[in-house]
């Protein structure tokens, strides 16, 4: 069966880092995988010229006619309210029910915190990012919505991962003040603790957890959190592995409601201030592509890409954000030169 992958480069540095992921797809194809890619132009330029974000027909085709999405970044200062970004990326996450957002942190050779292996599992469709609220003179309200279904899906994956790794699982929450929403998270977490007695699991107030991470991240293995806290925590853990430019992520729907059930994207944003200058670090995008390969069952290809990234870093290949001089394309080429197997 042919695997169909939609490529959405998006805005800012998105097209530049996407250009370094596409050769990896060609390489996977050369290793015998039946692959078809379709490049979709949805982003700021398309919106400004047509008024379209992600048309219903295009969304339905993506949902039912593709297996995965590789996404660059969205965000453009020409659209200050970010409406196109909201209607493209957040619609994909919510519409495809991509409940699980996986953000690993494993420092590369030559970077600090060697030996650290942190993984953040972030609920990806609800919480404070549900886009519900109101603004009126002198008052603004943002709603945070949590459902037991989504919380359970995320935490089941987090418990399974901690069990497979043989490491601790920590739930980040603020149930002491967010008694309703985070109270639900704590209740579901505690119910799963009973079903996983061999997983060292605890809940921890998010503010205390952030302090502990800065002081010593080593004791943490897997961290689970809602959409908002997971976003903040995973950006902090990215700093242990070189910063946002090296941070990958993968989102998926564990219950597979549609054919398209997985989306790979780097953690960094569109960075319009450096767009078009060849300064963006493509490592986050390349490692996100490796995560996608593993999710598709292509373990050998995933490991080979990850080894190539590590080898390039070990040999001193760096973009400017890591103190080097390579361009985006130069870093991508350095990694591809080390592909083997």
The residues annotated as belonging to the active site are 129, 174, 207, 231, 235
d(CA 217, CA 331): 28
Residue 297 main-chain phi, psi, to 5 deg: 95, 10
Pairing of strands 139-142, 35-39: unpaired
Structure tokens at 146: 């949590």
Residue 309 · residue 286 · CB < 8 Å: yes
Structure tokens at 302: 């995933």
Residue 262 main-chain phi, psi, to 5 deg: -155, 145
320 to each of 11, 50, 245, how far by Cα in Å?
21, 36, 10
Residue 53 · residue 88 · CB < 8 Å: yes
C-alpha neighbours within 13 Å on the C-beta side of residue 193: 14
Residue 27 · residue 57 · CB < 8 Å: no
**Minimal CA–CA distance to 164: which of 188, 194, 186, 196?**
196
101 to each of 38, 68, 124, 154, how far by Cα in Å?
23, 14, 6, 8
**Minimal CA–CA distance to 263: which of 241, 232, 297, 288?**
288
d(CA 290, CA 301): 7
Residue 116 main-chain phi, psi, to 5 deg: -75, 140
The three-point CA angle 226-256-289 to 5° equals 75
């Amino acid at each position: 069966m042919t695997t169909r992958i939609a490529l959405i480069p998006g805005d800012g540095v998105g097209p530049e880092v996407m250009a370094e992921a596409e050769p990896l797809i060609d390489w996977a194809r050369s290793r015998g995988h039946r692959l078809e890619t379709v490049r979709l132009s949805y982003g700021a330029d398309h919106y400004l010229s047509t008024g379209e974000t992600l048309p219903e027909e295009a969304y339905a085709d993506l949902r039912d006619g593709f297996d995965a999405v590789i996404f660059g970044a969205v965000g453009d200062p020409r659209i200050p309210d970010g409406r196109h970004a909201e209607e493209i990326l957040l619609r994909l996450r919510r519409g495809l029910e991509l409940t699980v957002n996986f953000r690993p942190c494993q420092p590369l050779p030559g970077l600090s915190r060697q030996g650290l292996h942190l993984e953040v599992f972030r609920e990806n469709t609800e919480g404070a990012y549900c886009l519900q609220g109101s603004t009126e003179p002198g008052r603004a309200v943002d709603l945070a919505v949590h459902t037991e279904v989504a919380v359970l899906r995320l935490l089941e994956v987090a418990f399974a991962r901690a069990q497979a790794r043989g490491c601790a699982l920590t739930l980040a929450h603020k149930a002491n003040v967010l008694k309703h929403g985070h109270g639900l998270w704590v209740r579901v977490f505690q119910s799963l603790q009973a079903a996983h007695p061999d997983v060292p699991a605890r809940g921890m107030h998010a503010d205390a957890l952030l302090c502990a991470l800065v002081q010593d991240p080593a004791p943490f293995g897997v961290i689970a959190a809602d959409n908002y806290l997971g976003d903040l925590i995973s950006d902090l853990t990215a700093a242990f592995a070189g910063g946002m430019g090296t941070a990958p992520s993968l989102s998926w729907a564990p219950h597979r409601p549609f054919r398209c059930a997985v989306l790979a994207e780097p953690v960094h944003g569109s960075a319009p201030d450096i767009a078009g200058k060849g300064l963006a670090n493509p490592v986050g995008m390349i490692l996100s592509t490796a995560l996608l390969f593993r999710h598709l069952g292509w373990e050998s290809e995933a490991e080979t890409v990850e080894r190539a990234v590590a080898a390039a870093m070990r040999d001193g290949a760096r973009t400017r954000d890591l103190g080097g001089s390579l361009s985006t394309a130069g870093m991508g080429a350095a990694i591809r030169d080390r592909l083997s197997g």
